[in-house]
Structure 1
Amino acid sequence: MNKDPYGQLASALYSSVGKHTRQAIGGVGAVLGTITGTGLKLDDFKHEFQDFMVAELPGVLSVPSSVLTGTTMLEERSVGENKQEPSSNETKIEDSRLSLTLKPGDRVLAVRVNGGNDVVVVCKVVTGNG
């Protein structure tokens, strides 16, 4: 019983291409991880990354206007309610940056880049019901 050599070749090529495609796509996309004392442990990778990047978001910080109310103290005795209501207009701070402060145990969302060789932590992740 001779098997079809072309069918065997097609089957081998199909298997090989599928394997390479899974490997290529496996290094792409977002994944959850945990910050450790010495690095980053991704949920889908058994080794810890000790050299990883953290996203920094540059931009303009806008602080909304606010009104301050309260009591005043003079020589340790209450003088009464402050009748003044100081207010401030919206303030924009140019060249500000939002940087993540992470500590061991924090859950994070990370993205693999450079073919899966590097990892960038995008943000800290918390539960939605807390």
Structure 2
Amino acid sequence: MYTPVHSRAASAAYRQVGVQSGVDGATPQALIKMLFDGLVQSLNAARGAMARGDVAEKGRQLGRAVRILEEGLKGGLDRQRGGELAANLGALYDYCIARLTHANLRGDVAAVEEVLKLVAPVADGWNQLAAAPAGRA
């Protein structure tokens, strides 16, 4: 079925507004949860691309995952107030970035799976914080 270009553009614009609205009204915990959700989604998409032999999509998804780790999660750390926890998370994110770079260069799905296993407990913690009633987190 053919959808006119202006209709497709409008749909894309509405989706973007919905995403932006979700970001604008989100708590800091919810924003971090969104980053982890995007990270896990990209890692799973990269695994699928690797299984299909889709090199371009693998590179795109791993690049997105690295950007989320570097610019979103690591960039958002408050090393002054976060102390040892922020330092440990920064080291974890650096390690994950190195493993994903290796995975992209070598087509190593095991490295992607390793990163998924490493970030899952941290993502779960943020999911619990984001779901906690106001004042309890």
Q: TM-score, normalised by structure 2?
A: 0.22
Higher strand fraction (1 or 2): 1
Higher helix fraction (1 or 2): 2
Larger radius of gyration: 1
Q: TM-score, normalised by structure 1?
A: 0.23
